[in-house]
């Protein structure tokens, strides 16, 4: 038997880890994991696809890029960033998840997320449901009028649209006006009762941004800039995004 020492090869280098380190201050502390499991304990995606944040980070640190790219778990992460808040080393796992998503070819990303991103790019409403300015205005006016006619105490309910110089520009998830319009009413009542100076916009009103979840940086920025322009064009002071 040979007495020559067995040499164990070093871990593979992960391009995902290197990318994130280049983006985050001080490398994002990605090499400082204590494997304490705090990140996984409250993660809503823990256990799905037999994965959790701690396991994902360890796989990345071991250079298991191919395995991570093949996993659907990064698309199940909600990007809530709770893992960062509870991590004693403040490791930015969501940034790692985002870069994993961006590394997958766009035509291989989840069709629902990609489709919602593409739908939002079709017009300046930014609605992932495809709602147009005309659709939006009709639903808001119709529901508001119904409230004024049927709900005592709200006969003078105001739901402003494109009101220039308002204090608040309010976004709305476009699922509500398209599928569940009554869900918009409670917030209207609160704003009216509080006497808030607010408005919706006919453009840039949709609160959601699926291009973010799709890791489509270019179109993510395009959606945000469309919304910012809508706020600035009306001269509103505060942008309230309900998402």
| Separation between Cα atoms, residue 120 and residue 71, nearest integer Å | 27
Q: By the 8 A CB rule, do 162 and 235 touch?
A: no
If asked whether residues 175 and 210 sit together in one domain, one would say yes
Q: Is residue 2 part of a domain?
A: no
Q: Is residue 19 part of a domain?
A: yes
If asked whether residues 127 and 204 sit together in one domain, one would say yes
Q: What's the pLDDT tens digit per position in 119-173?
A: 999 999 999 999 999 999 999 999 999 999 999 999 999 999 999 999 999 999 9
126-141 core/surface letters (b: 16 or more CB in 10 A; e: else): bbbbebebebbbebbe
Confidence (pLDDT) at 14: 65
Q: Model confidence at 6, in pLDDT bands (50, 70, 90)?
A: very low
If asked whether residues 28 and 54 sit together in one domain, one would say yes
Lowest mean per-residue pLDDT among 11-20, 97-106, 226-235: 11-20
Confidence (pLDDT) at 59: 87
If asked whether residues 117 and 208 sit together in one domain, one would say yes
If asked whether residues 173 and 215 sit together in one domain, one would say yes
**What sign does the dihedral 44-48-54-60 (CA atoms) show?**
negative
CA atoms within 13 A on the CB side of 240: 15
DSSP string, 7-53: PPPPPPPPHHHHHHHHHSGGGGGTT------HHHHT-TTTTGGG--H
Mapped onto helix, strand or coil, the DSSP state of residue 198 is strand
Q: Is the pLDDT of residue 214 over 50?
A: yes
Q: pTM score, two decimals?
A: 0.80
If asked whether residues 122 and 86 sit together in one domain, one would say no
Confidence (pLDDT) at 91: 84
Segments forming the whole domain that contains residue 133: 112-240
Q: By the 8 A CB rule, do 43 and 93 touch?
A: no
Q: Is residue 5 part of a domain?
A: no
| Separation between Cα atoms, residue 179 and residue 129, nearest integer Å | 9
Q: Which residue, of 52, 81, 104, is where some domain finishes?
A: 104
| Number of domains making up the chain | 2
């Amino acid at each position: 038997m040979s007495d020559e020492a067995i040499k164990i090869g070093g871990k593979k280098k992960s391009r995902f880890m290197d990318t994130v380190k280049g983006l985050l201050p001080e490398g994002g502390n990605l090499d400082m994991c204590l494997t304490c499991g705090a990140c996984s304990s409250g993660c809503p995606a823990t256990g799905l696809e037999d994965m959790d944040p701690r396991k994902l980070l360890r796989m990345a640190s071991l250079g298991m890029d191919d395995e991570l790219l093949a996993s659907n778990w990064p698309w199940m992460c909600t990007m809530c960033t709770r893992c960062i808040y509870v991590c004693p080393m403040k490791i930015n796992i969501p940034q790692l998840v985002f870069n994993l998503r961006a590394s997958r070819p766009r035509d291989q990303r989840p069709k629902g997320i990609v489709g919602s991103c593409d739908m939002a790019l079709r017009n300046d409403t930014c609605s992932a449901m495809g709602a147009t300015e005309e659709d939006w205005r009709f639903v808001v006016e119709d529901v508001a009028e119904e409230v004024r006619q049927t709900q005592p105490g709200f006969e003078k309910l105001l739901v402003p649209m494109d009101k220039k110089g308002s204090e608040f520009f309010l976004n709305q998830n476009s699922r509500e006006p398209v599928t569940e319009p009554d869900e918009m009413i409670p917030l209207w009542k609160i704003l009216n009762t509080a006497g808030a100076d607010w408005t919706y916009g006919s453009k840039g009103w949709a609160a959601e941004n699926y291009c973010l979840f799709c890791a489509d940086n270019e179109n993510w920025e395009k959606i945000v800039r469309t919304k910012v322009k809508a706020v600035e064009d009306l001269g509103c002071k505060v942008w309230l995004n309900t998402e």
